[in-house]
Amino acid sequence: MRQGMIALMSLFRQEFAIKGMDFIHAGEASIRVKNILKEIGAHQDLIRRVAIAAYEAEINTVIYGQGGVMILELDEDGVLIRVEDKGPGIPDLKLAMQEGWSTATPEIQAMGFGAGMGLPNIKKNSDKFVIDSEIGQGTRLKIFFNSGWKGRKT
């Protein structure tokens, strides 16, 4: 899966900071990413998939990752979203990818987060998904969406 991830010659790049445990502003980066896709007239289905995956990744960074950054890149083939944090890392990625598996505290779950659907949802809504995590170093997500933009007018 990893080899397939394209290192883009991006036509557009923008970074958004994500603050850890800031629940008031949690979700704003993914909304801005979504709005950029709307501005360029991306297809509704693409907008929906990006909106959901970016939101899940952002919330993970807010809750577990102690904050980080979301980087949006657009190129001829599609949309690449990278989310990077310097948090505690995920000990068992295979386990984390399972639906319903969560390390969220009861307090976090009481706020409506931590249902264990975050990573599976990102995978489900994207075309390529690479996750890389190291204990004590942080977690890096690469989420790619095919756009079919090349040579197409909407």
Partner 1 sequence: MSGPEPRPDTELSVSIRERRCSGCVVCMHACPSKAIRLRRGKAVILPELCVDCGECMRACPNRAIVPRVSTYQDTARFKVTALLPSPVIYTQFGEDVPPNDILLALGKLGFDYVFDLARYCEWGNLAMAEWLARNPRVRTAFSSICPVFMNLIARRFPDLIQNVVPLVPPREFGAKHIRRLLQRKLGLADEDIGVFYVTPCSAKIVAINRPSTLEKSYLSGALGLHDMFGDILRALKNLTEEDRETLLFNSGGFGINWEMAGGEIGGLSPADRVLAVNGMHETLEVLDQIESGRLSAVRYFECRTCPHGCLGGPLTVENPYMARATLRKLMRMFGTLPRVQPKDIASLIDSPFFGIEKEMVPDTPRLDDDPLEAIKKLKRMDELTNRLPGKRCGICGAPDCRTLAEDVVLGKASLSACPFLSGRDPEERKTP
Q: Is 82 helix (H, G, I), strand (E, B) or coil?
A: strand
Of residues 76, 79, 21, 17, the one with CA closest to residue 53: 79
**Residue closer to partner 1 (CB basis): 3 or 44:** 44
Pairing of strands 78-85, 67-74: antiparallel
Q: Does 9 bind partner 1 (CB under 8 A)?
A: no
- Cα(154)–Cα(54) distance, integer angstroms: 23
**Residue closer to partner 1 (CB basis): 26 or 90:** 26
Q: Does 110 bind partner 1 (CB under 8 A)?
A: no
**Residue closer to partner 1 (CB basis): 33 or 96:** 33
CB of 34 to partner 1, least distance (A): 7
Q: What is the dihedral of CA 141, 121, 62, 114, to 10 degrees?
A: -140
- Binding to partner 1 (CB under 8 A): which residues in 11-70? 11-12, 14, 27, 30-31, 34, 36, 38-45, 47-48, 51-52, 54-56
